[in-house]
């Protein structure tokens, strides 16, 4: 098989994740498996563009990585003056179900509840996302040395706490799945700060989770949510400047992703007839926006009703803040501002201050500029702050208040 260089790199990355999952099971060590796969990946990137891609790329990488791991184990045993432990052989043509189970084990190992959310995100990007340590550090706005230490501590905790490389039991699943979904969605949301590659990684991981757990409403709802939001990607910015939902060119939205996302929402709702699933409900809200022919034709009653359903299972200040944005469209900025001002615990949340700035602007209050300054001080992304500043400084109050999502 012949591929261009970029295609080879994508193939190696995708197959490398699956090979890593299998090799972690074989070696029992995330570190050893990661180093061995990295060595195999380097060799593949050097030889495949020149010699052609082998008929079984995954098998080639798996065998090469296992050989490297065996060499490392033997060398370390010789250094310590003891006999090397036998390492199980690997099947270069693994059954698809075995690969699926290995990936599932790796997902849950990376996102184990014993690890902090920061550590889970870093480890998931490094292993499941196939990113280098330097790339992960850039994505998370951390010095590479700091990120490397965080990854080392996470792997040490996996080893020292004897975190099992396995699919959790049925009673453990809800807690574990929640952590996995939260991590993937956090990765996806990184794209909204301008790192579009993170959005793509989030979609890829959400697809993986839904593929591995096709009967779980959380997995289906998460995938539906990221697809319905990602469908608007090409319209979300113009020359690097954020474009509000109300101003986006809906002809640029991806109809195939919308169709797939809406279908998944339907499946998720049918599987949760009694207790709403937070991800399915959030996806239903996204579907209301994606299916509206125009912003003015959005069914705000439906959006607010779905937010009320979401509050029945996930009553948080952030959910209430998002609901207030819909209330502003239906009932006006004064009604929404009263809701926003009543929310507790968001003093350090930039989007709360940004929402207040927008609502204050719309009501004609001179306090809008102060609210924007607080939003910037608490970390509102520069592009969003610049857009909001232009609205406050140059434009009269307008009716619409929406998000860039």
Give the pLDDT score at 106: 84
Of 206, 233, 261, which marks where a domain is finished? Answer: 206
Tens digits of per-residue pLDDT, 114-135?
A: 888 888 888 888 887 777 788 7
Query: Do 111 and 77 share a structural domain?
Result: no
* Number of folded domains that form the chain: 2
Average confidence (pLDDT) over 70-83: 78
Asked if the model's pLDDT at residue 22 lies above 60, the reply is yes
Tens digits of per-residue pLDDT, 2-21?
A: 455 677 777 887 788 888 88
Distance from C-alpha of 358 to C-alpha of 362, rounded to nearest angstrom: 6
In a domain, 256, yes or no: no
Average confidence (pLDDT) over 265-275: 95
Query: Do 170 and 114 share a structural domain?
Result: yes
Give the pLDDT score at 201: 81
Query: Do 137 and 64 share a structural domain?
Result: no
Q: 33-37, 85-89, 153-157, 285-289: which has the minimum mean pLDDT?
A: 85-89
Of 94, 113, 128, which marks where a domain is finished? Answer: 94
Query: Do 117 and 67 share a structural domain?
Result: no
In a domain, 262, yes or no: no
Average confidence (pLDDT) over 22-32: 85
Query: Do 101 and 201 share a structural domain?
Result: yes
Q: 110-114, 127-131, 316-320, 373-377: which has the minimum mean pLDDT?
A: 127-131
Query: Do 202 and 100 share a structural domain?
Result: yes
Give the pLDDT score at 242: 79
Query: Do 137 and 113 share a structural domain?
Result: yes
Determine the structural domain holding residue 43 and report its residue range. Answer: 20-94
pLDDT band at residue 404 using 50, 70 and 90 as cut-offs: very low
Tens digits of per-residue pLDDT, 178-226?
A: 888 988 888 888 777 666 767 888 898 899 889 888 889 999 999 999 9
Average confidence (pLDDT) over 43-49: 90
In a domain, 259, yes or no: no
Give the pLDDT score at 16: 84
Q: How far is CA 20 from CA 29, 52, 119, 226, 396, in A?
A: 10, 22, 19, 25, 56
Query: Do 192 and 120 share a structural domain?
Result: yes
Asked if the model's pLDDT at residue 1 lies above 60, the reply is no
DSSP states of 247-289 as a string? G--GGGS-HHHHHHHHHHHHHHHHT-SSS--HHHHHHHHHHHH
Give the pLDDT score at 403: 52
In a domain, 14, yes or no: no
Q: Cα dihedral angle (370, 376, 377, 381), rounded to 10 degrees? A: 170
CB atoms within 10 A of CB 23: 29
In a domain, 8, yes or no: no
Give the pLDDT score at 353: 96
Its pTM surpasses 0.85 = no
Cβ pair 278, 180 in contact under 8 A: no
Tens digits of per-residue pLDDT, 319-338?
A: 999 999 999 999 999 999 99
Distance from C-alpha of 39 to C-alpha of 46, rounded to nearest angstrom: 11
Query: Do 75 and 106 share a structural domain?
Result: no
Asked if the model's pLDDT at residue 105 lies above 90, the reply is no
Query: Do 108 and 64 share a structural domain?
Result: no
Of 94, 129, 151, which marks where a domain is finished? Answer: 94
In a domain, 174, yes or no: yes
Give the pLDDT score at 401: 52
pLDDT band at residue 309 using 50, 70 and 90 as cut-offs: very high
In a domain, 388, yes or no: no
Q: 87-101, 238-252, 383-397: which has the minimum mean pLDDT?
A: 87-101
Query: Do 130 and 49 share a structural domain?
Result: no
Query: Do 125 and 56 share a structural domain?
Result: no
In a domain, 9, yes or no: no
């Amino acid at each position: 098989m012949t591929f261009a260089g970029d295609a080879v790199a994508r193939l190696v990355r995708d197959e490398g994740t699956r090979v890593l999952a299998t090799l972690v099971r074989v070696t029992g060590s995330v570190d050893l498996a990661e180093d061995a796969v990295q060595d195999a990946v380097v060799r593949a990137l050097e030889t495949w563009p020149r010699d052609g891609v082998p008929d079984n790329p995954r098998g080639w990488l798996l065998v090469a990585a296992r050989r490297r791991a065996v060499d490392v184990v033997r060398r370390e045993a010789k250094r310590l003056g003891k006999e090397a432990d036998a390492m199980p052989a690997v099947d270069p043509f693994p059954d698809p179900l075995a690969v699926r189970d290995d990936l599932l084990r790796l997902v849950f190992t990376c996102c184990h509840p014993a690890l902090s959310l920061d550590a889970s995100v870093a480890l998931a990007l490094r292993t499941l996302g196939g990113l280098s340590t330097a790339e992960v550090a850039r994505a998370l706005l951390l010095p590479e040395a700091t990120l490397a230490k965080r990854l080392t501590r996470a792997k040490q905790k996996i080893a020292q706490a004897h975190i099992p490389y396995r699919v959790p039991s049925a009673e453990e699943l809800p807690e574990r799945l929640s952590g996995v979904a939260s991590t993937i969605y956090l990765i996806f949301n990184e794209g909204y700060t301008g790192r579009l590659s993170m959005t793509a990684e989030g979609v890829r991981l959400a697809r993986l989770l839904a593929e591995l757990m096709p009967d779980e409403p959380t997995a289906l709802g998460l995938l539906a949510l990221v697809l319905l939001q990602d469908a608007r990607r090409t319209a979300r910015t113009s020359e690097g400047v954020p474009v509000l939902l109300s101003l986006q060119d809906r002809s640029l939205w991806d109809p195939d992703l919308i169709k797939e996302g809406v279908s998944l929402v339907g499946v998720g709702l049918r599987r949760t007839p009694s207790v709403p699933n937070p991800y399915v409900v959030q996806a239903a809200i996204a579907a209301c926006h994606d299916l509206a022919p125009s912003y003015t034709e959005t069914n705000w009653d439906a959006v607010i009703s779905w937010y009320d359903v979401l509050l029945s299972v996930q009553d948080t200040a952030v959910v209430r803040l998002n609901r207030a944005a819909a209330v502003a469209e239906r009932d006006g900025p004064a009604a929404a501002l009263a809701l926003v001002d009543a929310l507790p615990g968001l003093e350090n949340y930039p989007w709360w201050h940004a929402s207040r700035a927008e609502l204050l602007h719309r009501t004609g209050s001179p306090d809008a500029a102060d609210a924007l300054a607080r939003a910037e001080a608490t970390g509102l992304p520069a592009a969003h702050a610049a857009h909001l500043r232009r609205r406050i400084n140059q434009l009269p109050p307008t009716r619409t208040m929406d998000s860039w999502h």
